[in-house]
Structure 1
Amino acid sequence: MNAKELNYTMPAEWTAHERTFVSWPVQASMVYPDDFASVGKGYEDLIHAIAEFEPVTVIVNPVDAEQVKARFTETNVDFLVIEHNDAWFRDNGPTFVLNDRKEIAGVNWKFNAWGGKYSPWDLDDAVAPQLLEHYGIQRLDAPLVMEGGSIHVDGEGTLLTTEECLLNPNRNPELSREQIEEHVKNFVNVEKIVWMKRGLDGDETDGHVDNIACFAAPGSIILQVCHDPSDENYTITQENLAILREATDAKGRAFDIIEIEQPPKTFFGEQRLTLSYLNFYFVNGGIILPVFGGTAEATDREAIRVLSEAFPDRRIRTIDGMSIIKEGGNVHCTTQQMPASVRG
């Protein structure tokens, strides 16, 4: 059974949350394991920031449980001991869906570490079923390799994604575009998928949408753009902008597009860092926004201004976006919202 058959729908991220889930990082799986202490501090700061707005449950490995618990004194931060390989819970955790009675279920996608890039991933693939069992939540098993960071929904039948990721042969090589689209529509219960082409240059997730665009409201999209023709992201973001200008949502509405200028091009060694203001996260009454400092101070200020105007009723809580980005992701990648439901 899937969400559509059972009349469950994935709500937009800005709807009320019961809690946020975050997985604690695992040193053995890190790209730069010598940075474990600073990455851990980045996760600690993020969890403290989210806890200013709503409860946080930290998924922690058994061997790390006691030392991680000692970092937090907030009464609304708790811990769930589940073995895992890596820390990007947006991508290997469940996607929560609600029905008209606000009852909750969880979609259990298949997970293969972004097309087999990091081995092993067997523990990560098993996290969502264990979490759903812990909370007594109905599990909907999807026959599709997919990560939560590759989709955004407006809560009214429209989903945003990229061809680069969802159609990548390293995910579901046996499935056609039409089959992938059908599975996605059925398991989050949307009517229309708006396909952009590519994600940001250097993004090792193969173009996750949560680095380039998200819904601000039904009929409104925030898009990170680049205006420097010498930057690889210029062609990418201008192409996506053109697609969105021509697109309509499931209700037939043209999109109001809010543009945010990207941070300056930044490298760590020879690796381009995937800096994105769009990797922010909605919390109850606020937004957790990564900012980057240094050469990005001007674009940081502009991103804060744009989001403050777009969401005047939300507090923009900034966090150091450089603390974990070398590991390949940022605020949105680390988090997964559990929407408020009758069980909450």
Structure 2
Amino acid sequence: MKPRELTYKMPPEWAPHARTLISWPIQDSMCYPDDYESVCGGYAATIRAIAEFEPVTVVVNPEDLEKVREVFAGEARIECLPIEHNDAWLRDNGPTFVVNEQGERAGINWRFNAWGGKYSPWDLDDQVAPQILEHFGVRRFDAPVVMEGGSIHVDGEGTLITTEECLLNRNRNPEWTRERIEEVLNGYLSVDKIIWLKRGLSGDETDGHVDNIACFAAPGKVILQVCSDPADENYEITQENLRILGEARDAKGRPLEIIAIQQPPRREHEGKRLTLSYLNFYFVNGGIVLPVFGGEAEETDRMAVEDLGKAFQDRVIRTVDGMAIIREGGNVHCTTQQMP
């Protein structure tokens, strides 16, 4: 039976967490291996920021276990879980948790192919979710589709938002139609309405993950990163997203309130555009962990903190250095996975 038939559904990210799961970086898999120590420092800072709000379980390759335990020695809210993995983006290869009407947890084990086969090997990453679920004694549902957690956001009331660029990409599920993918999302996450944006941000090597461009702030309310420079490729992309969301209705038939957040200034590394996004923040219990970028982004950093503070007046906005790991291709939301 599918999870929906057993009353399981995916809760929104702002629902209470039991803990956060995050993976520790692997030097051999990094785009810039010489940055390993600084990237580990960025992960440690993010882990500590999250641990201010809730427990954190760090998935660590067994050979790194003692070293990472020493990094967090004496920090009671941070524990290590030895599981072999190829890369450190647990949002995408970890389980997606669902909860039934009795409050029981289960986990969706999606198939994982390293963002359309971009980074080999990924065999260990594809086995991380089952091992996490086994460790915590959580029921597992194996989904028959390649899917990454960063490609979807839900409102907890039947609506999911995603992009065609990612979910309909031929490098994930080449034989699958939009209708068949919608059927799987309906059956495994209990969603009734899918809002399809066209594209993600320019330069995003995940093929347009939604967690860089849009997310639900509450049922009927969406936060969207926008670009105001017509010369920037993101201008057309974000204007199209604004139009789609402005015309959309959610599963309850409501029009969407849209909160626009200005993107940070363009930044490149070795001629490649970095996917800077304030939308790659992460909900924690009582707070939000927000990447900020400094330098020429100082003003948009300030605006993002202010805008999110207005949107979430009951939450602490905790900032972290968004430049610490972005050269590796992701940020705070990409590294994390919440357990309800």
TM-score (normalizing by structure 1): 0.98
Task: Determine helix, strand or coil for the equivalent of 2:50.
Answer: helix
1:17-74 Cα deviation digits (max 9, x unpaired): 0000000000000000000000000000000000000000000000100001101121
CA contact (8 A) 1:14 1:283 kept: yes
1:177-196 Cα deviation digits (max 9, x unpaired): 11111111111110000000
CA contact (8 A) 1:3 1:9 kept: yes
Residues 1:59 and 2:34 aligned together: no
The CA distance in 1 between the partners of 2:168 and 2:246, in whole Å, is 22
CA contact (8 A) 1:93 1:336 kept: yes
1:15 is matched with: 15
1:114-145 Cα deviation digits (max 9, x unpaired): 00000000000000011111111110000000
Write out the 4+ residue segments of structure 1 that deviate beyond 2 Å after TM superposition: none
1:266-317 Cα deviation digits (max 9, x unpaired): 0001110000000000000000000000000000000000000000010000
The CA distance in 2 between the partners of 1:26 and 1:185, in whole Å, is 34
Task: Determine helix, strand or coil for the equivalent of 1:126.
Answer: helix
Any residues of structure 2 matched to 1:78-227 within 5 Å, and which? Answer: 78-227=79-228
The CA distance in 2 between the partners of 1:175 and 1:210, in whole Å, is 22
Amino acid at match of 1:263: P
1:240 to partner: Cα distance? 0.4
The CA distance in 2 between the partners of 1:232 and 1:246, in whole Å, is 22
Q: Which runs of 5+ in 2 are unaligned?
A: none
Residues 1:307 and 2:317 aligned together: no
The CA distance in 2 between the partners of 1:313 and 1:115, in whole Å, is 39
1:282 is matched with: 283
The CA distance in 2 between the partners of 1:326 and 1:236, in whole Å, is 22
The CA distance in 2 between the partners of 1:288 and 1:136, in whole Å, is 28
CA contact (8 A) 1:286 1:317 kept: yes
The CA distance in 1 between the partners of 2:143 and 2:24, in whole Å, is 25
Answer with 68-77 or 236-245: which moved more. 68-77
Give the number of equivalent residue pairs: 339
1:342 is matched with: none
2:71 is matched with: 71
2:233 is matched with: 232
1:103 to partner: Cα distance? 0.3
1:101 to partner: Cα distance? 1.1
Amino acid at match of 1:42: G
1:175 to partner: Cα distance? 1.1
Amino acid at match of 1:15: A
The CA distance in 2 between the partners of 1:186 and 1:293, in whole Å, is 42
The CA distance in 2 between the partners of 1:207 and 1:247, in whole Å, is 19
1:234-293 Cα deviation digits (max 9, x unpaired): 000000000000000000000000000000000001110000000000000000000000
2:24 is matched with: 24
Amino acid at match of 1:256: E
Q: Which runs of 5+ in 1 are unaligned?
A: 340-344
CA contact (8 A) 1:50 1:56 kept: yes
Task: Determine helix, strand or coil for the equivalent of 2:249.
Answer: coil
1:337 is matched with: 338
Amino acid at match of 1:41: G
The CA distance in 2 between the partners of 1:70 and 1:84, in whole Å, is 20
Task: Determine helix, strand or coil for the equivalent of 2:18.
Answer: strand
The CA distance in 1 between the partners of 2:232 and 2:61, in whole Å, is 40
The CA distance in 1 between the partners of 2:135 and 2:337, in whole Å, is 16
The CA distance in 2 between the partners of 1:205 and 1:162, in whole Å, is 11
The CA distance in 1 between the partners of 2:265 and 2:79, in whole Å, is 37
CA contact (8 A) 1:2 1:142 kept: no
Amino acid at match of 2:5: E
The CA distance in 2 between the partners of 1:274 and 1:41, in whole Å, is 20
Task: Determine helix, strand or coil for the equivalent of 1:239.
Answer: helix
The CA distance in 2 between the partners of 1:84 and 1:185, in whole Å, is 29
Residue identity (%): 70
Amino acid at match of 1:153: V
Task: Determine helix, strand or coil for the equivalent of 1:263.
Answer: coil
The CA distance in 2 between the partners of 1:170 and 1:186, in whole Å, is 23
1:33 is matched with: 33
1:79-123 Cα deviation digits (max 9, x unpaired): 110000000000000000001111000000000000000000000
Amino acid at match of 1:324: I
1:2 to partner: Cα distance? 1.8
